[in-house]
Chains A and B, each alone.
Chain A
Amino acid sequence: MVDSAAHQPDSSPDNSALDPLANVQNQDLAEVLAEVENVSPSPALELPLLAAGGLIKNFGGIRAVDHASIEVAPGSITGLIGPNGAGKTTLFNLLSSFIRPDQGRVLFDGEPIQHLQPYQIAQRGMVRTFQVARVLSRLSVLENMLLAAQQQTGEKFWSAWFLPKQIAKEEKELRERAMAILQSVGLAHMAHEYAGALSGGQRKLLEMARALMTRPKLILLDEPAAGVNPTLINQICDHIVNWNKEGMTFLIIEHNMDVIMSLCDRVWVLAEGRNLAVGTPGEIQTNPQVLEAYLGQ
């Protein structure tokens, strides 16, 4: 990463001759990566899938996020931890554009996305879940899944009128894919029940399954293990590991340290809206600053 960040400005004259836009983007990337590098002195060696630098967000007089940076390598499971009120969920909201940052940039797949709408970000392949699982109560579990699929012909008003055959075909395929995913998370038997009838743990599973249904490049999970019994936590972890093996990238907020330590390749620690530390789970566990932030002095 040090290399790529240092090289890109050098190679920019060549690029700008061919494609000025690429140049701007690279400059963006270089700047954000430089910000990230300030925080994380030993970054990964490949270009990040998601990189955010210098994010600031004020709520009234309170600075919830203060020059926070983060980076997610493709194919990784990256953790984001911090004490309550550290600004983790706000950072999630900034990354997914549910809240606009006052300052700072977010790059996804090398392109700036902080000016986009949340739905556009989801369409580009970055999908999030919520801290308290949100399901569409009066839709069936299967409908929850079908909704998540991207670029459906039948979601366009005029196509919904005039292309019934194509829609029926797509729906059939989506149903099969949705049922396969539901099967894998053990919710297939609930497919035709109202999603509102699911238990808390099942809702977490449905939310993750629904995120997967969008065929994303990156899934942001906000406390996937919160309020879930230990058996189900293990199940959820297994699913995450399996999906990761199939190539899915994850960024996970979690308070359960066992989950973070067992899953994550890299952990970012946030405290009072700032980056406190970053490293492998092992490094974070023994980092005195992190211990101080969690346990107090």
Chain B
Amino acid sequence: MDHDSFSVGYLVSLIIFTGTYALFSLGLNLQWGFTGLINFGHIAFMTVGAYTTILLSLAQVPLILATLMGAGVAALLGLLIGFSTLRLREDYLAIVTIGVSEVVRLIALNEEWLTRGPRGVYGYPLPLEGFRPTLLSKGVMIAIWTVIFAIAFWQLGQWVSRKLKQNAKLQQVTTENEFTPIERSRPIGKLVLAGMAAILGLVLYGAGAASLFNYDYKAGLMLVLVIVLALIFWRLEWLVRSPWGRVLKAIREDEEVAKALGKNVFWYKLQSLMLGGAIAGLAGAFYAWNLSFVNPDGFIPLITFQAWTIVVLGGAGNNVGTPLGAAIFWGYNTITRFALEDNRLLDASRAGAFRIMVIGLLLMILMVWRPQGILGKKEELTLGR
């Protein structure tokens, strides 16, 4: 974020950060939101993915292959962690993962022959680096951009109409029987949320299209990232709605029941950990490409907890909530950055700490007011076990 003013370039940069974090958090959402695995070391997957990708591509491995191998090595890390801990109780996994993430970071810091340690890695190949688009290819890119946003808007419309229908149905039920213990949902809140998402979507669409027209490297990266994010999101949604996803949710609810019904719980947990890890590894590649300089300081445990914030904010076990949470997180980050700039009360470092403090406060308020997250289902919290 090296632009000072609020420009199209800044918005593009913001889209890249949001997209990277959304991708990263989708992996965590699969592990925790759907499978119930408490992973406090998610950043380890990102570190491994980022370093594998950039180091391999520096060694002349084609970029796509290097990226896939980055995701693959991150998945292997999941296999390693899983094999050693998944047979143990949940809290052990939490402890081991946070330990692994620090081990990975310290290896990156100290194995200078491999990672150049604190001096960091730079000058690695970037996607679409030498790409100079013609008018035609710009048109194609903008068309792809338009298609992705059109699908997103269409889905949003579907969601709104579904909610309105549900609401009409609920009203009917509640008038028939006033003691029906179903919470009346408020369509106003949903409509406001949808309206805000639509406005935000239009702004982002416009900024993205404009930046693609005035093409620079970041615009290309943004397009690639959004395509990858859309693909991963689509496949994840497909997966969690499949019988495979049903087994994951069953494990989240009660793994003894899943075992008693003939499901190989260990194997499914391992798959979830590995797939979530691979997605985080992929996010790591985008993280590195966006910064174009990587050193171990970029992979501190804080980022894991930012991903947790995003998942909780959006609603655990909801794939739509995760990108939404990422957008809110980065939106907050940006707005407070501008709002607190050049104020007389707080100097830069105090302002930074203050912003994080407010995040904590907001999370607490959210947990009281809407513990299921923004898109979570309230009914789910009132269920007995």
Contact = CB atoms under 8 A, between A and B. Distances in A.
27 contacts: A98-B260, A118-B260, A119-B260, A119-B263, A123-B262, A129-B260, A130-B257, A130-B260, A134-B256, A137-B380, A137-B383, A138-B252, A147-B246, A147-B250, A147-B261, A148-B261, A153-B243, A155-B247, A155-B263, A156-B244, A160-B239, A167-B242, A167-B243, A194-B379, A196-B380, A196-B385, A197-B379
B244 A138 contact: no
A31 interface: no
Interface residues of B, number: 32
Interface in B232-264: 235, 238-239, 242-247, 249-250, 252-254, 256-264
Nearest to A148: B261
B257 to A, nearest CB: 5
B256 A119 contact: no
Interface of B: 235, 238-239, 242-247, 249-250, 252-254, 256-265, 271, 275, 317, 379-380, 383-385
Interface string A119-152: 1101100011110001111110001001110101
Contacts of B242: 154, 160, 167
Classify chain A: how many residues form its interface, as a range. Answer: 35 or more
A138 B262 contact: no
A210 interface: yes
A171 B244 CA distance: 12
A84 interface: no
Interface string A202-229: 0000000010001000000000000000
A161 interface: yes
Interface string A166-191: 01000100000000000000000000
Interface in A244-267: none
A136 B257 contact: yes
B197 to A, nearest CB: 25
Given A119-B263, A137-B253, A157-B271, 16 more contacts: A118-B259, A122-B260, A122-B261, A127-B261, A128-B260, A130-B256, A135-B254, A136-B254, A137-B384, A138-B249, A139-B253, A147-B258, A156-B244, A161-B235, A161-B239, A196-B384
Given A98-B256, A194-B383, A117 B264 contact: yes
Contacts of B261: 119, 122, 127, 147-148, 210, 214
B385 A119 contact: no
B385 A137 contact: yes
* Top-8 shortest CB links A-B: A196-B383, A154-B243, A122-B262, A136-B253, A160-B244, A160-B242, A123-B262, A118-B259
A179 to B, nearest CB: 16
B257 A134 contact: yes
A261 B246 CA distance: 39
A96 interface: yes
Question: Would you call the interface of chain B mostly helix, strand, loop, or mixed?
Answer: helix
Residue among A122, A136, A153, A197 having the largest count of chain B Cβ atoms under 10 Å: A136
B338 to A, nearest CB: 40
B243 A146 contact: yes
A267 B112 CA distance: 71
A160 B243 contact: yes
Contacts of A130: 256-257, 260
B277 to A, nearest CB: 14
Contacts of B238: 160-161
Given A167-B243, A194-B380, A136 B264 contact: no
Contacts of A152: 243
B246 A143 contact: yes
Nearest to A200: B384
Nearest to A213: B261
A146 B246 contact: yes
A75 to B, nearest CB: 22
Contacts of B383: 137-138, 194, 196-197
Nearest to A158: B244
Nearest to B239: A160
Contacts of B244: 154-157, 160
B56 to A, nearest CB: 25
A128 B239 CA distance: 28
Residue among A128, A129, A139, A210 having the largest count of chain B Cβ atoms under 10 Å: A139
Contacts of A137: 253, 380, 383-385
B262 A150 contact: yes
A254 to B, nearest CB: 19
A139 B265 contact: no
A167 B245 CA distance: 13
A56 B384 CA distance: 35
Interface in A59-115: 96, 98
A96 to B, nearest CB: 7
Contacts of A143: 246, 249
Contact of B243 (A118, A120, A161, A171): A171
A119 to B, nearest CB: 5
Contacts of B380: 137-138, 194, 196
A139 B247 CA distance: 10
Contacts of A155: 243-244, 246-247, 263
